[in-house]
Structure 1
Amino acid sequence: MKKIKDLLADLGNRHHKDLGKKLMAAVAALVMLGGMAGASTMALADDATGHGNVTNTRMDGNADQTSASYLSMVKVTSPGLSEPKHTKSIEYQGNGKYTLKLDVTGKDASTSTTTTTPIDIVLALDVSGSMRYPFDGYDSGQKLEALKKAVNSFLDETTKTNATIENEADKVAVSLVKYANESVDWIGDDNCRGGNCTQIVRGLTTNTDSLKNNVNRLWASGATYADAAMTVAERALSAGTRANAKKYVIFFTDGEPNHYNGFEGSVANAAIAKSKELKNAGTTVYSIGVFNGANPSEDVAYTSNTNRFMHGISSNYPNATGYRNLGTRASGDYYYAASNSAQLKRIFDDIQKTITEKHVYTGVSITDRLSGYTGQSGIVYDESAARIFDGKTFYKVTGGVTLNATGGAAGETPPVADTDYTLWYSEDGNGVVRAEFAESYELKNDMTYTLSYDVEPTDFAYQTYAKTGYDATGDADTGATSAGEAGFRSNETAQVCYTTDNRSNCVDYQHPVLQVPVANVTVTKEWADAQPADGTEVRMHLKGYDDAVDHMVTLNADNHWSDSFVKLAPGGIYTLRRGDRRLHQSRR
């Protein structure tokens, strides 16, 4: 008697594991426009009394063009958000069914939210004699007046920012330090040797509006004691009482570091050494130059001593010990240059806008386009509620797709269906699932939004597996049955699209794979009477899927007259033969 035994055996479930998957850094964008090719500014040899030789050079281009270049740069270097964290995975449910999960996690890098990290800022401003002169012969205003205008505009905007922060202890605090001649220990606006003392004019205060009065009374006279400036800036920061505050120094100059005239290397190195102490303690230092030849873009190996000094004093080089010993360049840009008064004000205005605007994800959508190997399972949609996305018709989903939210702050409410988001399905191609958030909805900080729905292999997947096997390998972190495993890709494309900082972008998800359920077919030869003679063999031939499947097993006494055809794809017609004689035909 001959028979096929255990047809489609071992179609049990596999073992699977679940896949789960500010005023903050407010001044991290306090940057100035890097010097640009073709631009030059006034050259002035400063001295202890404020007198020097002025050379007027007209700047190529105009303030608007220069500022536009700055804006394109600050968009790249601003402390906004990059792409959101997003993952895609597949989970086997048994019986040939899978669940696809696409998630995205919100992030709030805002600097003006109610939960903030306090920030202490020291503005170390050059009030040497050369600050009485204009940027160039075509600019009627003094550099000092241009600086006052820019700083006051910045303080106005900081006052507005502080008004949005309820807790006084979390507001932005700013200190004003002036520098020119030798330093004094007391707070004030005093004269030293006929010029400005280097001193704290106003200690850290959250009353930034009143600080404008101190700015407006600044006057220009003296040398450029950059070393004293950094020492006094450190003193101003140390006087702060907020241990958790992020600390920043904005070092502004229009000339070479010196106690008398020209570039003095000892003064430059002393200033860099003090700045290194600040940087080692976690302070971020920005340097801003408005002097002749200020150019952060030049190679430090070939640029001027003053440009090397400005790099070294800033956080561009955290381990710099001198202008000739800069160490390793850090990421980010902390030395910038401005070329005229209009640009200077515009830069301050744009920086303030950058550091206080909200950095969140809005206009978010998740779209998953299924591959020919994958079909949706159980999605219900309303064809009377249609909408067009990317030229394709989508219908509102009424069942079979979910969007769940987990994480976020304590008490944070999840999004509401049909108010904060809507689920859609398109019959285009092999099917497209889409979650569309309301344009104004902001993904909440550390909240993960997971789009889920069930899928199963298509007939095409079964046929392809039977004929040629799998054609892909699952990407990393896509699930226990997918990551690094052979299979068919579940989707053609999958993307999350979003807007942040007025920029829109889409990023791809990983590619999970699924497998078709397979069966082992065991064939046993049973002898009705006595066992055959030694050496007897029986060859069994199995064909299926239009002869794409063509397997042979040999039954004999050694295998107890039993063997198996393994990993057969269900869904096709299989024919079992002994030699050329058909013994059995079966369809799953």
Structure 2
Amino acid sequence: MKKRRYHGQSRKSRLLAVMLVMAMLLGMSTISVYAGELTGDISMEQVDVDVGEAGTQKDTTESTAQEKTDKVQEEMEPSGDDQPETEQTEESQTEDVTASPLMMNLQQSTVRKVVPEHHKYIQYNGNDSYTLTLDVKGAYASESIRPKVDVLLIIDKSGSMNEEIRNGYKRQSKMAVLKNVVSGTNGLTEAILGTRSTLDARMAVVSYSGNKSDGTYNDAWAEQVWTDSKATIDNSVKSISAYGGTNWEAGLRTGAELLGKCRSDAQKIVVFLSDGEPTFYYDSRGDTAGNGSSYDSDAYNHAQSQLRQITGLNAFYTIGFGSAWGSGNTRMSDLLKSSSASATKYYKAADSDQLADAFKEIAESIEYTCRDVTITDVLSDYVELPDNRMNYTVTATKGGVTTNITREGTVQVQYHADTKTVTAAFKSGFVLDKDTVYAVNFEVKPTQKAYDEYADQNGVYPHTGSAESDAPGNATSAEKNGFYSNVNEKVSLTYTYGTDGAAPDTDAYQEKPVVQVSDTQIAVTKRWENTNQNTTLPDQVVIRLYQDNEQTEYRTLTLNAENQWAGTFIHVAKGHTYRIAEDAVDGYESEITGDAEQGYVAINTRMPSLTVQKKVEGKLGDKTKQFEIKIRLADKNGNPVTGSYGGVEFDSHGEAVVSLCDGEQVCIEKLPVGTGYQVTEVLADREGYQTSYETCEGTLSADRTATVINRYMEEIPDSGIRDAGSFAVGGALVLLAGAGMLCIALIRRRRND
């Protein structure tokens, strides 16, 4: 027996008699029924009968004979309302005509949800550029344990279900449409009980209508008790015929009885469908009451009261089927307020397509597929978006095939610069396809802070990348040192299993990718100029590196003979401008050439000296005479060189006067390279002296000696013969002697005359 009305014992007795007569007349195959508990005057004996509708034999191939016996035994057990003598007597003594709702306290099963597989990883693109990826894989609530689900379908079979509605390009009765959507290809039963279902599921079917002449508590039928057979459920739905009024209370009451036989550890889900408002209800005796043709507020209140007595449901869905449910009719949606189920939702289905959509969404919620996903990533202080702009792609990968879905609108990706937060929100209600990996990929780069800290710590990183934080083929993160890309506790996946009303869950991404940065080096070479092998160089020179416009040095470098006057600034942070300067070296001018990229050359040129000396020529020249000599100095730009150099003080005109005698000199040291000089004698060509100059004017790039010569002018010109003066004296004496002898000879001659 697959269909059973729940009503009083007298009704059961009459039904048993009919069954016995039909069995004897038709000679049908048997079903075991224990009849002893139906009335007190029937002995407990096993009677074999088989009952079908309209002479059609029911499909019993799904179960063994013993299963049939057990199932019918369960059906025939008296429920809470099968105590008419006591309950009806008590109720009849009051003025209240309301039937007591059937209380059914169920043990609500907890869904053993599996966290959707999700990963965060990184890909190095070169040139300090990276791509971060956060993905999530579509999944059901449990991958290792098939969720247990018991789904009760409560169907309105009132006469209005024979009315026609649109079904594609044709019109069909609402009942015919319902049967097709439930049992057809990709229908409700296929999703829940079909071969591709991932559920450990059972279904049961209750139908309800309303008829005042149909006995007590007799407006609803258990079309099919709990079974995991899709064919059995399909056949039970297909056998339903529409007639009568609409008694919501009856459907919920009979449904409560079947819910009492759910598996305690299964999810308990009810789908309640109606094409019209309630017109009937049960009075205190279980008889059908109400106007039967239009909305009856008592009928609605009874339905609410009955629903409130059913506790422990995991989900309760209502479907308003047909055109009766206009925008102003909210009774089906309001009915949800009376349910204590964890998840509730109302679906309006005006035609076959909307009904199919409603069942599809319900089936998806029952399968606990992952939906309403939001990925959140808060970037660390060490990474940022290039140009502070979100450059991203969204992909879906299944079976090794990757599809770019960036422009499909499936995922909205945003960046909030003030909090450095990236959010990727899947559109509302979007259900992740099972085994499809959805990935959000976006570019990041290291921040200046990362470069600076890395350089400041001399190339030492503070973090280590976690396992599996590398993209396929990448090898820069897992177990590698670097900077974390994210504030890990704020990187999360938020998702919902079940319907829109279900509570969302949030789980963190466990991977911690890192980024590395590169630094730079700045080479410095020292070059000495205007020196020779006799020049004594300083012990060392200090070179200072300055960053940007800072006045405090960023690094220092010492150059000396040991390092061959060359060195390199290492671990220099990128992203800045640099310049160098060196500490002053006494007696040298410094010039810096080059740049940070090609390297610097620090040129030290020894500052030249000017030596001014005096020379007096001629035997009669006065070697002790002091001659005043004027020295004039000017820099490269022609400006006077002032100050003291080598003990010589130069005035504001760049002039100094020194007094020198023969063989004396003065050395003017450490003059700027390129200094122009002029040396002149104050009183030149005076007192019998002729003044001449050797290298007494020019520009100093090296040491120079200027000589001022004074020659005494009254002396016989130099013949060029060595000791010419001695020969001249000798010649004069010979002439004098000759002249004397001539005079003596003349005197003697006169005497003789």
Q: TM-score range by the shorter chain?
A: 0.3 to 0.5
With structure 2 as the length reference, what TM-score do the two structures score?
0.35
The structure, 1 or 2, with the larger RCO (C-alpha pairs under 8 Å, 6+ apart) is 1
